[in-house]
Chain A
Amino acid sequence: MRSFLYAIAIGLVGAALLHIVIILSLPSFTGRDAYTRVQSLGEANRFYPLADRAGDTLAPINDDPAMKTAVCTFSLENGPVRLFAEGDVPFWSLAVYDSASNEVFSMNDRTSVSGALDTLVATPIQLIGIRKAVPQELEQSILVEMRGEEGYAVLRTFVPAESRRPAANASIADASCEPFGPDQ
């Protein structure tokens, strides 16, 4: 009888260890975390507007009827990425996440320079090079230091009424998420 009590006690210790291991390692194994789901939308360096209804794919959906969301995955391996968007919307916001879906940077239209989105995402080393001689087209841009090389950007616009939807769609369709080259 006593050995069974020992067995249960050891089992409880094992359960606690297993619980910790599962919780800590789960983010690497789910296969349906936000970054993986965003990657299933398609190629990188393009803003994809999200569908309003869940389909058969992993792709994330637009989870607020009053917001229109677009997502762009990018890699900084071959240089910085410039996020640019403007449009006649009452509110927009941007969040940049790393590949583990940790927030790197977020802003909204009030915290932007001229009301338009103009942001350059770069690794710390790339930023040193850019800051040495800021190109003319980046003078108004917000420079964001990225953790790691892979990540994604989420652009949200506020759609208070159906009549505002065309403007929001146009703003997102024109949004760009392209690699920034010094000679462009």
Chain B
Amino acid sequence: MFRTPLVIATALAVAFGLGILSSIYALRATVGFGAITLGPWTAFPAAQTINADPYAKAHRARDGRLLLGGAEGLVFTAATDSDNRTLAGNCRYEIVGITPPARLWTLHATDRSGNPLPGARADLPTGLNAWSVLRGADSTFSIRIASSAVSGNWLAVPEGRAPFLLVMTLLDTPTAGSSGVIDLAMPGIRRLDCADA
């Protein structure tokens, strides 16, 4: 007697349950197709354009961020180190190398949803950029990311075990327009050590 309603209820439950869950999953997992991936770094050069795919448009509408235009620059985000381990606040990392061609670049750390991490104190270096970084003789740089002070280029992240993202913004870069044409290389992210306490 209850067989027909039960069958209809099953169909509806599957449709709405899977439909909603798959949409949420797709929006969490991705900012759309068309990504440039260089080692651990990912960028979406077309996410702000009218030609962005529906997933990218839905994602940016839900996120509500001000994206960089094509002539402004390109934002690379890293959630893992070069060995694919999630970046966490209790580890120390080192970024070594040079950036793809760009006039300027900036580097800072954010939480998982993309908000910049505040320093424990106001005067800690929570951001580095092309002007403030110290370079070697061959113009490469080495940046240490740690919660306690280190020598050389230091990017401060808050203490704790919270995962974070590294965001490197290349300003006025040809990278945005020519994905794959130029042989690009982003600096690697190496894990130095972790405090397990």
Taking Cβ atoms with an 8 Å cutoff, the residues of A that contact B are 3-4, 6-8, 10-19, 22-24, 26-28, 30, 32-34, 36-38, 52-54, 58, 60-61, 63-67, 69, 71, 90-91, 93-97, 100-103, 105-108, 110-111, 147, 154, 156, 158, 160-161
**Distance (Å) between the CB of B103 and the closest chain A CB?**
7
CA A15 to CA B21, docked complex, whole Å: 9
B58 touching A66, Cβ below 8 Å: no
Name the interface residues of B34-64: CB closer than 8 Å to any CB of A.
48-50, 52, 54-55, 57-58, 60-62, 64
A69 touching B66, Cβ below 8 Å: yes
A60/B64 contact (C-beta < 8 A), A15-B19, A18-B20 known: yes
Which chain A residue lies CB-closest to B53?
A23
Which chain A residue lies CB-closest to B8?
A7
**Distance (Å) between the CB of A112 and the closest chain B CB?**
10
CA A37 to CA B54, docked complex, whole Å: 20
**Distance (Å) between the CB of A1 and the closest chain B CB?**
11
A156 touching B72, Cβ below 8 Å: yes
Contacts of A65 in B (CB 8 A): 106, 108, 116, 126-127
CA A28 to CA B44, docked complex, whole Å: 22
CA A108 to CA B172, docked complex, whole Å: 7
Pick the contact of B127 from A60, A66, A105, A154 — CB < 8 Å? A66
1/0 per position for B91-108, CB-CB distance to A under 8 A?
A: 000000000000110101
Q: Which 10 A-B pairs have the closest CB atoms?
A: A106-B69, A11-B14, A18-B19, A14-B15, A95-B69, A65-B127, A15-B18, A160-B131, A27-B61, A66-B106
Pick the contact of B61 from A26, A96, A111, A160 — CB < 8 Å? A26
CA A14 to CA B9, docked complex, whole Å: 13
Interface of A is mostly: mixed
CA A109 to CA B116, docked complex, whole Å: 26
Contacts of B134 in A (CB 8 A): none
Name the interface residues of B61-111: CB closer than 8 Å to any CB of A.
61-62, 64-73, 103-104, 106, 108, 110
Instruction: Kindly state whether residue B11 has any CB partner on chain A within 8 Å.
Output: yes
A17 touching B48, Cβ below 8 Å: no
A34/B18 contact (C-beta < 8 A), A63-B116, A102-B49, A160-B130 known: no
A3/B7 contact (C-beta < 8 A), A23-B23, A53-B118 known: yes
CA A58 to CA B49, docked complex, whole Å: 23
Instruction: Kindly state whether residue B12 has any CB partner on chain A within 8 Å.
Output: yes
A93/B73 contact (C-beta < 8 A), A33-B60, A66-B127, A108-B171 known: yes
Of B26, B62, B69, B171, chain A has the most CB atoms within 10 Å of the CB of B69
**What are 21 pairs between A and B in contact, CB < 8 Å?**
A3-B7, A7-B10, A10-B14, A11-B12, A12-B15, A12-B18, A15-B18, A18-B16, A23-B23, A34-B60, A34-B64, A37-B64, A52-B116, A64-B116, A66-B106, A67-B106, A94-B72, A102-B50, A102-B52, A107-B69, A147-B50
**Distance (Å) between the CB of A31 and the closest chain B CB?**
9
Which chain B residue lies CB-closest to A158?
B104
CA A66 to CA B14, docked complex, whole Å: 48
CA A30 to CA B49, docked complex, whole Å: 19
